[in-house]
Amino acid sequence: MVILVTGASGQLGQSIQHIAPSYTDLQFIFASSQDLDITNQDRINHFFEHNKIDFCINTAAYTAVDKAEMEMERAEAINVFGPKYLAVACKNNNAKLIHISTDFVFDGSAEKPYSEADKTNPLGVYGKTKLEGEQAVIDHCSAYFIIRTSWVYSLFGNNFMKTMLRLASERDTLSIVSDQIGSPTNAVDLAKALLSIVKSDNSEYGIYNFSNEGIASWYDFAKEIFRVNGINIEVNPIPTEAFPTPAKRPKYSVLDKSKIKKNFKIEIKSWQEALQQTT
């Protein structure tokens, strides 16, 4: 089975590359943005015509949440048209598509974990373009899995954990937002879940949620990052209003994982246990 991974230099792409050697029965093509620009439909069609692809995992995205507010067209090209072109190519070449989406499709007004069927209402350009990207996939192919995830971190690329570790080496105290609640996701655990889907031969297509288990605020997450890394630093909780950002973020974005656990028999670690894997 041949799997094309787009956006292969990003943190999820690198996490898939990290575990790929253990999957000796799968053949991977890792394509960075330089190798395959997903906004170039001719290039995608050409790529699919010249490589026999069974599965495409689209990890490519415009992920700069705040910058997206000023770069709407670029965010739209990558997060909406990119997935659309991949969906069309998958359909024309009999390949299945796994497309990654986000908790930012929700407005955060819920009081219990979001199921895949709950009403979406993105607060900013990033979430809006990601939601439109989901719809483009649904409209242009039928063999798709859309995986919504949240608060992704790893030893690769840029993410909250690496920012915290850098800041801790520069400062004595940190103030971290404590009134946004979600679930951290170790990108390697997400990568394993994606490959479980690839290997499952299950064709219950649709939208699925995945994150690690449990809930946290960014403040809780930061404290645990410092604890597991043996870093002694003063961390103060602050409200969202004390840390204004161009893009509004959901106050609550915990995802209900029952569907993916049931359909793919995936066991999910707590976020605290998953965080230990990075030390």
- Residue 201 CB-density burial (10 A; 0-12 exposed, 13-18 middle, 19+ buried): exposed
Q: Which of 201, 155, 203 is nearest to 26 (CA)?
A: 201
Asked if residue 211 binds ligand NDP (CB under 6 A), the reply is no
Q: How far is the CB of 102 from ligand NDP (least distance, A)?
A: 4
Catalytic residue among 114, 126, 153, 219: 126
* Annotation says 208 is catalytic: no
User: What is the Cα–Cα distance from 82 to 35, expressed in whole angstroms?
Assistant: 14
Does 9 help bind ligand NDP (rule: CB under 6 A)?
yes
Nearest to 100 by CA among 57, 164, 56: 57
The distance of closest approach from Cβ of residue 262 to ligand NDP in the complex, given in angstroms and rounded to an integer, is: 22
Min separation Cβ 28 and ligand NDP, Å: 16
Angle at 118 between CA 266 and CA 239, to 5 degrees: 90
Stretch that binds ligand NDP, among 6-14, 172-180, 212-220, 242-250 (CB under 6 A): 6-14
| Position 183 contacts ligand NDP (CB under 6 A) | no
Contact flag: residue 89 with ligand NDP (CB under 6 A): no
Tokens of 184: 């951290």
Pick the stretch among 54-62, 106-114, 225-233, 238-246 that binds ligand NDP (CB under 6 A).
54-62
CB of 13 vs ligand NDP, minimal distance in Å: 6
Show the tokens assigned to 35. Answer: 């190798």
Catalytic residues: 126
| Contact footprint for ligand NDP (CB under 6 A) | 6-7, 9-13, 33, 37-39, 59-61, 63, 78, 82, 100, 102, 130, 149-152, 157, 159
